[in-house]
A = this chain, B = another copy of it.
């Protein structure tokens, strides 16, 4: 009989939040800080809530060393809103889009509605493994020609991560960091803007975070931009031009606080390497499982894998679920399996997954 575990959730997002965060949130769900009130009920204009958001921003600034000439915004909705907002706010002449997968491509499609976009698909199949092509082969004009250069540091569906950033466009990068923000140190000044949906490394779905160079807000958005999609409007109103998603914002603050207490971003980076290496090594040493990504750009966050015999996929997923290893199904557009290993995933989750995969291989190999 196979082993089972208390559930470990490998969902790509909404994804598991740190156990300590969830326990704290539950304990104060009906009674925050002895007030007898829930944070969920509290007006966003109450001093208590203002205190929460000020601490959340300060903690995020500390974690990512965000300089003062960058604004931090907390927005309703996920990263996909920004696919429209970015061109509406910043596309004046022409923009470059580095397309490394499904999400990068969605950003391209949306931007094309609003102006001139040069897009380059950089993911190549090299001997059966997906690889980000060397940037010397990317087809773009000189980066001076572009208002910004958009790229996707980690492709959640494909499992492709820029382990080393490109040089092209440094300083005017706009990066969709939805699935790898807070998992390694970044040099903010290389970016004009960073954005991330919350539901992977930050908090619950329905919130996104923007870090944007204040200077970029000066020239103003396209006049047809909905007010709530105008970054300057959001910045001028401290992300409260309208009622913000208060509970998600509070939870994001708990997550930032948790990361600080765990030791900060470098600890998150070490753990991410360790978790992903454990799983990649196991997969690489197996003839039964396969990861389709080249070593140079394997995601530390989202690890897709296939079985030698695809007809046993469903059995794998069913038995994994019975063993307490849930949400391992690959994205519907690519199939197979995917294990998402964000900051909140404990090492024990990866060990359990490897142990199960060994057992399953033994039974089915």
Residues of chain A at the chain B interface (Cβ within 8 Å): 6-7, 9, 11-17, 22-23, 25-26, 29-30, 35-38, 40-46, 76-81, 83-85, 88, 110, 113-114, 197, 199, 204-207, 223-224, 226-229, 241-248, 324, 326-327, 332
Contact = CB atoms under 8 A, between A and B. Distances in A.
B226 A85 contact: yes
A247 B36 contact: no
A43 B26 CA distance: 20
A316 B22 CA distance: 37
A12 B43 contact: yes
A244 B205 contact: yes
A38 B23 CA distance: 11
* Majority SS at the chain A contact face: loop
Nearest to A43: B11
Contacts of A326: 37
A229 B84 CA distance: 10
Contact of A80 (B35, B223, B227): B227
Contacts of A43: 11-14, 327
A81 B37 contact: no
A6 B45 CA distance: 22
B242 A80 contact: yes
Given A44-B14, A327-B46, A78 B242 contact: yes
A135 B245 CA distance: 37
Given A17-B40, A36-B324, A77-B228, 5 more contacts: A13-B43, A43-B327, A80-B242, A85-B226, A199-B243
Contacts of A206: 76, 206-207, 244-248
Given A11-B43, A207-B206, A6 B244 contact: no
Contact of A205 (B22, B84, B245): B245
A41 B197 CA distance: 14
A169 to B, nearest CB: 24
